[in-house]
Chain A
Amino acid sequence: MIGFDVTGFILSWLVFFSIYSILSISLNLETGLTGMANFGKVAFYALGAYFTGYVSIEFFLRLHGLDYPIYSTDAIVALGKLSVEQPSLNLSVFLLTLVGSFLFAGVIGFLIMLPALRVGPAFFGITVLSFGEMLRIFLRHYKPVGATYGLVGIPHPLAWVGGTFSKDLGFALISLSLLAITYIYAQRITNSPLGRLLKAIRDDETATLYLGKNVPLVKGKVLFIGSGMAGVAGCLYAYYLGSITPNAFMPAVTFEVWAMMLLGGVGNNRGSILGAAIITFLDRSTAALNFLFPNLIIDPNFIRWMLVGVIIVVVLLFKPEGIIKEEYVWTPAWRLLEAKAEARRKAFKELIGRLIKRR
């Protein structure tokens, strides 16, 4: 185990756990709760990452009056220097790109996917899957964002913190906080009249329409929020790695997120997080395996992809509801039922009491 850094492993796992949990919660919102099978999740993750990378690099360079091309060596060197000079700049750019990623990915998700819903539920999946691939191929050839090289030298929000450990710990905490916000929001809307409405759309869209609900509008809002969340995950990813390439956004990422949602349990947010925890742990472990045993016959990355496939198949065949089962939507109105039951129990007790007395 020489040279294996356990703390580093845990911190890196925490970051990936947060990023993928946000992705699986967002997929669960669109697919698990609302029934729109989103096979293009990775596209909105990529949009968040590229927005963050591009905007933060541009900001740092242009603010300092440097006009190096975005993917040049000069730019990367300059970014390395500039990013440790002014903590307040790092943090404000971080906040700007965080909010920006949410809005950017959210708006594009809304604009692309809402019309795509018209092709029907089966083709919707294929349409958004294709969109993701088209986006990736576009990014591979679009010079202003570095084409195949991608974006390098993305200024880490905590680059100015001395010491790798503090920097990584700080970033893990930021990631976990964003996951907490995402989870609390998702959990609250799940157990609200909105959550009920989403499940109604999932169960029978036509009937929902006949109950006066503006189904396309509701779906549009969900797509905006879900894509926005994926954008936030992309933002974290870009900062964490410091560089992004188009090939990091293969369709396989989408399937990994699907596997997390299915494994943990469709239609519930805790399940999405559990699935993300398990699969990112496997993922990080195979990465560690790679590091510890560089001469393995099988590339651990292949093991990882095989595992994802096996998990999807096994879960769908043997435990389609996943590890955690979906629950009803719990809202205050359920108390009205308990009040009745409570009253009945009381009346029953009284009756028994009277019968005993009579004896």
Chain B
Amino acid sequence: MSRQQLIISGVGGQGILFITRLLAETAIAKGLPVLTSETHGMAQRGGIVISHLKVGDFSSPLVRPGKADLLLSLKAETVALHLHFLNHSGTVAANARALPEAAAGKEAVTVDADTLALNLGDPRSVNLIVLGRALAQPGMLFCSAEEVIAVLKARLAGKEKQLQGALAALKAGMEYGAA
């Protein structure tokens, strides 16, 4: 898959920028052009935060409504809020115990990332858990788990503790998918 449009959303403080850039760097590592759009400022204080990510040949960083292939939702409530970005065959990966009603009829996967994150002792790892869940689903993302892990290792080189935490979170999400 050399072209993909994604929406990543949740609330301020969940590390949405981190996984947006992680995926963008993975695209570059694969030799693909990439454009993203981030939320900064007031909304980062607990408001709704949304990132757009476009991999492939695009000129604008914003995903138009009805064009996204995937919605990664770190907070269940953003599924309903941002579902309109999806195209007809668009899929959803959400941090939720059960699939939010709004996504009925969509191809979707869920993961109870809050509980997993608390079990890992790191409430801030929800972002990577949800990403791991999506990576475990074949064909959901433009890249593979191995490719993301390679970039993660380069990004967190020299920060062993952070890296181990990040890898554990990613793995927790992936295994939840396999279970």
Chain A bound to chain B: no
> Which B residues contact A (CB, under 8 angstroms)?
none
> Which A residues contact B (CB, under 8 angstroms)?
none
